Amino acid sequence: MEAQQPLKSQITFGKFQNVDMRVARVISAPLAEGTRFPCRVITLDLGHLGERTSVGQYALLEEEELANKNVVVCANMGPREMGPYKSDALVLGAPHPDSPKDQAQATPLFVSDAATPGDCIF
C-alpha cells in the first residue's frame, strides 16, 4: 500500500477558481503505444468546448468501462508530451488499488450520465 501523502499547502479560493474543471464524455480510450508506462489515449467530448485528448494511466480498466462515461477533467492545462502523444486535458482520478508500485494507475472520477459534456465542475 502506498504511503499516505500529507496535506498540501493551503491555497486561496481565487487560486482554486483558476482550475477549469469540466464534465467530459469519453469517446474512445485505446491503449497507447510507446509510452513509458501502460496508458490509454482518451478522446474526450467537452460539448461546446470541442474535443480534447488525455493520455493517462488508466490501463487497468477496459476501454468498455470508460467509453460513453462522463468524467471530470481539468480543461485548461497546457499540452504535455506523453511518449509520441500530446495530452491537452487531464482526466482526474484516484489511485487504482491494483496499480503496480512503480506506476500511478488510476480510476477516473466519474460523473452522472445526467451531466452534460462541457458543464462546469464546482
pLDDT level of residue 2 (50, 70, 90 thresholds):
low
1-5, 30-34, 82-86: least confident range: 1-5
Residue 67 confidence (pLDDT): 98
CA-based angle 37:94:12, to the nearest 5? 115
Q: Is the CB of residue 36 less than 8 Å from the CB of residue 56?
A: no
- Summarize the confidence of residues 77-87 as an average pLDDT: 92
pLDDT at 3 over 80: no
- Per cent of the chain over pLDDT 70 is 98
Cell triple for residue 63?
476501454
Q: Can you give the pTM of this predicted structure?
A: 0.91
Rounded CA-CA distance 21/63 in Å is 23
Rounded CA-CA distance 113/24 in Å is 10
Residue 4 confidence (pLDDT): 82
Instruction: Work out the mean pLDDT of the chain and round it to a whole number.
Output: 95
Expressed in angstroms, the distance from the first to the final Cα of the chain is 31
- Summarize the confidence of residues 77-83 as an average pLDDT: 90
How many CA atoms lie less than 13 Å away from 14 in the CB half-sphere? 0
Rounded CA-CA distance 87/11 in Å is 26
- Summarize the confidence of residues 74-103 as an average pLDDT: 95
- Summarize the confidence of residues 51-61 as an average pLDDT: 97
Residue 1 confidence (pLDDT): 47
Residue 83 confidence (pLDDT): 86
